[in-house]
Every structure is written in C-alpha cells, then in structure tokens.
Structure 1
Amino acid sequence: MVNVAKNKQNGTIFMVITQHRKEFKNQDSIHLSIAGAKALRSCCHNIMHIFLRQTQEELKTKKEHEILYSETFEDSERIYAFKWIAGRNAAAMTFFRIIVSNKSTDYTYVTQMPDIGISRLRDILTYLIEKYDVAVDHKQNMDKENFRQDFFNVSNNDYTESEMENTRNKN
C-alpha cells in the first residue's frame, strides 16, 4: 500500500509505504519537500520510460542488485536519491529505494520496497505520478481524515502501452 498526503502546515508531502506481503509488516514513512516530491515524480516518469523500453528478456539479463535507474536531486536542506534496483530475479523482482539525507544533521533516511514485481512497480509509479501531479501542481490540501482514507491497494491490473503513454502525457 502507498499512502500520500500533503501537510497543510508546512507544505511537505508525507508518504507511507507498507509492504505487500505478510512477512513484511513494517512501515516506512518519509517527508518530502515540494521540490523533493517533484523530483520523485520526475524519477517515476523516467523509470516508467525505461520500463516500457525494456522487454522481460532484457530484464532477465540484469544481475542481482544492479541499479536499473538512479537519480539524485538536492534542495537547500536535503539530498534525495531515488534508485530502482534489480532483485534476485530482475524480470520479476525489483527494489525501489528512496534515500534522503539532511544536510544540517548528517541524518540519512532510507525507505525501500523489497521484492516488488514489475507489474506492481508499474502500478505504484503510475499512482505516485498521478498523486503528485495533484498534490504538487494543483496544491491540493489533504487533511488527516483524507490521509487515512487515501490508501492505494496495489493491483495486478494490466496496463496497455497507450494507457501508460496517456499517464505520462498528463504531465
């Protein structure tokens, strides 16, 4: 599950990622500035482009923990690193990792979704692109009740390439 909301007080985007499988019961949460949220959205778009260009056969040639895509962005307070990493079987499993380092405190926060299937990763990225388009571009405020209700259950829906293209063109 992915939960995204905007904090009215300070304008940060708050994201909670909950592992899908029962053996992963922990939750990771992260605060992103507006600039960081825009960087994440850009990263999601770029990963989507890469995903659509690669066939399952090409993905199978990737080694475990090989970085499929990496993007770093920094604002005045933080450094954001977004990484898409091959898992044990790159055709079926990947990691999506967000690393945020605070410049003033030397504190680094890492959130990771382990062993995400390609179709689930695609669903998550599509969702994040759509949510950040709304939260960032239109500055939509979400209160605590909406925050709690705004869970997204990752589905196994198949997207056609034209549907994915339409998602990208919204930006």
Structure 2
Amino acid sequence: MNVFKLSLRMIPQILKFSVFSFIFIFLTSCSNDDDDTFANVRVNGSLITTTQADFVIGDRSDFNGDVDASFTGNGGSATRVFSWNNNLTTADYNADITSTSEGSFRIIVEDSEATVVLDRTIQGGAEPDSIDGVTSAGVSGIWTVTIIVTNFNGDGSFSLSEGD
C-alpha cells in the first residue's frame, strides 16, 4: 500500500516533467535558424567548389573541350574557379540569366599567362540579361575561369568554346 501512495504523490511531478519536456521539444523543433541562401555553379555537370583561396593551376586542366555550365542561387554569393584547356588563342562565350532585381553574375577569363581576356558582368533585373562574343586574344594553354555570383536569386547558364 505504501508503494501505491508513493506512486500517487509522484504523478504531479511526472506531469510537470512531461509538460516541460513537450514544450522544450516543441520550441526547439520549431526554431528556424537555417540559412537557406545558396549559390551553386556547375560545369559540364560537376558542382564546382573551388574558391580563389584554394585554387592552384597545374599542368592539367579541370576541363577540356566545350564548357557548358549553369548556376543557381537563392540570395547567396559565391566565387568559383576552374581551369580550362584552350588550344586556341581566343574563346567564344555566351551567358544569360533569369534573375530578380537582386544579384549579379560575373565571368573573368585569364589566358595561360594570367592575362585577363574577358571580364563581363550581367546585373539582375536589368537589360541586357545575356552576353556573348569572343574574348580578346591570349596565349593558348590552360586558362583560368572565375565565376562570381553575388546576392544571386535565380538561375543562368554560360558556355565557353575554343575560338579563332
């Protein structure tokens, strides 16, 4: 009988603990501290994660042949770098975006001697929303391509192919 009385006395404490636990779990699970902003760059289907800080140009390129790339963003910013083997002295380029009024896309291309042969920007929410043409002449070999998306909200694509 004493065990039964002890159990009855503990019911209010068990209820308090249960209510406290439920409130704690509810409040922490409803918290939305997640940052949903992002910016991704894909080249020939591969997600590019290399930044300027960790990019090292070597004797091999990341990509040979035509570059077919896309980028997406949800308010995020990213700078991504890759190397591309261009056997000619110029490159044909094309880029377009679908973006809100926020954000920008920038492409910088350097030849094998680190001379900038292309530096163009497309601003979101403004015309033109596409660029194309031929780079300045450079030195053939392994070229460096830097893509910068800033506060970008939307999607887009760009391509590079050997010119001349």
Q: Place the TM-score, normalised by the shorter chain, in its bin.
A: under 0.3
Higher helix share: 1
User: Computing the radius of gyration over CA atoms, which structure comes out larger, 1 or 2?
Assistant: 2
Question: Which of 1 and 2 has higher RCO (CA within 8 Å, sep 6+)?
Answer: 2
Report the TM-score when normalising by structure 2: 0.27
Report the TM-score when normalising by structure 1: 0.26
